Amino acid sequence: MIDFRYHLVSIVAIFLALALGIVLGSTVLYAPLVRFTEDTAARLRARNYQLQAEKALALTRGGASDAFVAERLPRLVEGSLAGESVVLVEAPGADARQGESLLEAVTAAGATLSGRVALTDRYLAADQATALDQLATTVKPLALTFPVDSSPYQKAAAVLASALVTTDKTVAGKENPVSAGVLDSFETGGLVTLDGEPAKPATLAIVVAPATPPEGKDAGTQTGALVSLASGLDAAAEGSVVAGVVPTSTAAGLIAAVRSSGEASAAVSTVDNIDMAFGRVVVVYALREQVAGEAGQYGLGSDATATEPEPLPAATPSPTPDGGTGG
């Protein structure tokens, strides 16, 4: 039978072991642990300084490269859109400064600007869908018909596209009373704001994406409405390009929605880095590609298929009477 003294000795032994462990830990083990911690912290600080230096160098090099392209942008796009006209359509929340930069690029490329159309928040508001449907049905041109399963946003897109763009260069840039009436109705309804002369139809359209994707329970519907607008403009024009800025690691918002839709991506082009000069050059090249009947998804995003369109083939020289070739 184990008596009280045995228990007492066991308890004392336990406390002596604990005390000895504390003493050893605070003397024998303390110094190596401190040295290891200090060495690790020093390595992490050195790595952090290295990464900061690399980031600063990358930003400097990137800024210098972009400045180089920006200075030469007019020469890079010169003549690319000669004979074309462009309408700029800005989604709610689009960065107006980016719109201005795009207009500078397309005009440097030889295109004329018909005007700017900015969608209001009301255009995408869920509680305005019925009113939008009624307006589109009321003001649509007689020649325009809607598929039976069209949503309010598809109807509005078709009506706006009929007023803003055309594939017929003989009517492009000419005042159209029907177009003017349609746009006036949308502006009176608080759905758009107009600048310039968008009632003179353009041959190409740029849709500027929101700076941040829509959020909340209606985000999917709102993004879908913008995809419908881009697709509607493309169908009624020589082509359309959705342009914006998307972080390289993110696939979200309007541009991602176009790229993930097989039907939309087959017709509508996208560019995801218009905050960079070379991205604005790519918008011009993408518009030129649209005129040629092609589409592509360009930029630096994870869902882009290329940074820029393939160069268009050069025209084959025509033979001259003396057997040579002429331009």
Is residue 124 located within the same domain as residue 44?
Answer: no
- DSSP annotation of 126 reads G
Specify whether 37 is located in the same domain as 185.
Answer: no
Q: How confident is the model at residue 141 (pLDDT cuts 50, 70, 90)?
A: confident
Cβ within 8 Å of residue 264, ≥6 positions away: 227, 230, 231, 257, 258
In a domain, 214, yes or no: yes
Domain count, the chain: 2
Domain residues for the domain of 291 are 80-298
pLDDT of residue 316: 47
Same domain? For 142 and 282 the reply is: yes
Same structural domain for residues 88 and 72?
no
Residues 69 and 152 in one domain: no
The pLDDT value given to residue 157: 95
**What pLDDT, on a 0 to 100 scale, did the predictor assign at position 164?**
96
On whether both 129 and 31 belong to a single domain, the answer is no
Tell me if 320 is assigned to some domain: no
> Encoding tokens for residue 251?
């696939």
Say if residue 138 is in the same domain as residue 284. yes
Q: What is the spatial distance between Cα 223 and Cα 252, in angstroms, rounded to a whole number?
A: 10
Q: Collect all residues with Cβ–Cβ distance below 8 Å to 164 and sequence separation of at least 6.
A: 87, 89, 114, 117, 179, 183, 198, 201, 202, 205, 233, 236, 237
- Indicate whether 105 and 65 sit together in one domain: no
Q: Let me know whether 84 and 70 are in one domain.
A: no
Q: Does residue 317 sit within a domain?
A: no
Q: Report phi then psi at 273, rounded to 5.
A: -135, 50
Residues 284 and 183 in one domain: yes
Angle at which helix 219-236 crosses helix 152-164, to 10 degrees, equals 30
DSSP 238: S
φ, ψ dihedrals at 32, nearest 5°: -60, -40
pLDDT digit string, tens, across residues 82-126: 999 999 999 999 999 999 999 999 999 999 999 999 999 999 999
Q: What is the pTM of this model?
A: 0.78
- Where a domain ends, among 50, 77, 104? 77
Please indicate, yes or no, whether residues 84 and 72 belong to a single structural domain of this protein.
Answer: no
Return the minimum-mean-pLDDT range out of 65-79, 192-206, 231-245: 65-79
Mind listing the pLDDT tens digit for each residue in 39-87? 777 777 877 777 777 666 666 666 666 776 677 788 889 999 999 999 9
Distance CA 54, CA 38 (A): 24
pLDDT at residue number 188: 94
Looking at the structure, do residues 89 and 69 belong to the same domain, yes or no? no
pLDDT in tens, 262-290: 899 999 999 999 999 999 999 999 999 99
